[in-house]
Amino acid sequence: MPDAPMVLLLACPDAVGIVAAVSGFLSDRDGFIVDSQQYADLETGRFFMRVAFVASGPRFPATIEALRADFERVGARFGMDWSLADGSLPRVVIAVSKMGHCLNDLLHRWSIGALPVEIVGVVSNHEDMRRLTEWHGLPFCYLPVTTATREAQEAVIAEMMADADFLVLARYMQVLSPELSAVLAGRCINIHHSFLPSFKGAKPYHRAHMLGVKLIGATAHYVTSDLDEGPIIEQDVARVDHRASVDDMIAIGRDVEAQVLARAVTWQAERRILRNGGKTVVFR
């Protein structure tokens, strides 16, 4: 079992005694809580919790599987949706099209140890990013997409994802099918180049420029079958003024996009995000 903290993520109907049950469970097994966060949604009555912990004594189970088996009873008692991850790096696939600023940012962070993931590979419907990807020693999978090939290409992605934890759309300019979106629910993060719900759809910077907004933004969200509609994970903005052309906005937006996506990917990797209906709970 790795030395990094294990993470328990759970959601259930709110009730007296959940925290006591979870922390008692760990304490009884010499589990040392490194970080714990919780949130009770008063509107829906749902309770959310993230507990990061390490083994610190002889009573700790020898395997993560044993620990999971032990926890079944607690989970069942409170009707929890729960997952228990050991401290290994999550396996990530990145999809990109022609614009490489988000990909470059993610790969650079990863290369200096600042992005806690294992990158399985990069897929793209263009060849442009092959050289950057391969320079980092990562496999690049070219999947040109046409109406005729779309289904076959998505099958390749689905196959890669069978052995990966999540997919990052780092300015991947293809819409996933409803089927693949459903398969990857909660496991696929997209970066949209606007401050949602403003400027859904195509060419957001052009429309922001036409409207004369004074801030432009970017939004990282889970992909659902509704385009640009999935649960929002993170957003940020940058200031522009009347002098900013569309190209200026695109250039300024690149920095915001890269940073917003990097934060979302990091939180997903650290298992800090839970979905709450169409929204997210992010335990930062």
- Name 27's Cβ contacts closer than 8 Å, sequence gap at least 6: none
Tell whether omega for the bond before 178 is within 30 degrees of 0, i.e. cis: no
Q: Are 119 and 92 in contact (CB under 8 A)?
A: yes
From the CA atom positions of the chain, what is the Rg in Å? 21
Residue 13 in the binding site for a copy of itself (CB under 8 A):
no
Q: What track of x and - describes contact with a copy of itself for positions 224 through 263 (by CB under 8 A)?
A: -------xxxxxxx---xxx-x-----x--xx---x----
Q: How far is the CB of 284 from a copy of itself (least distance, A)?
A: 7
Task: Pick the stretch among 3-11, 20-28, 65-73, 183-191 that binds a copy of itself (CB under 8 A).
Answer: 20-28
DSSP states along 235-267: EEEEE--TT--HHHHHHHHHHHHHHHHHHHHHH
Question: For a copy of itself, which residue of 2, 13, 17, 178 counts as binding (CB under 8 A)?
Answer: 17
Cα distances (angstroms) measured from residue 113 to each of 99, 103, 119, 126, 166: 23, 15, 12, 27, 19
Question: For a copy of itself, which residue of 67, 169, 184, 196 counts as binding (CB under 8 A)?
Answer: 196
Q: Catalytic residues, which ones?
A: 228
Q: Which is nearer to a copy of itself, 48 or 157 (CB)?
A: 48
Consecutive H or E run containing 222: strand 215-222
Q: Where are the alpha helices (DSSP H) in the chain?
A: 18-28, 64-78, 101-111, 130-135, 150-162, 178-183, 204-211, 246-269
Question: For a copy of itself, which residue of 30, 70, 86, 118 counts as binding (CB under 8 A)?
Answer: 30
Residue 83 in the binding site for a copy of itself (CB under 8 A):
no
Residue 91 in the binding site for a copy of itself (CB under 8 A):
no
Question: For a copy of itself, which residue of 2, 13, 45, 57 counts as binding (CB under 8 A)?
Answer: 57
For a copy of itself, the binding residues (CB under 8 A) are 16-17, 19-21, 23-24, 26-28, 30-40, 42, 56-57, 100-101, 104-105, 108, 112, 114, 135, 195-199, 211-215, 217, 231-237, 241-243, 245, 251, 254-255, 259, 276, 278-282, 284
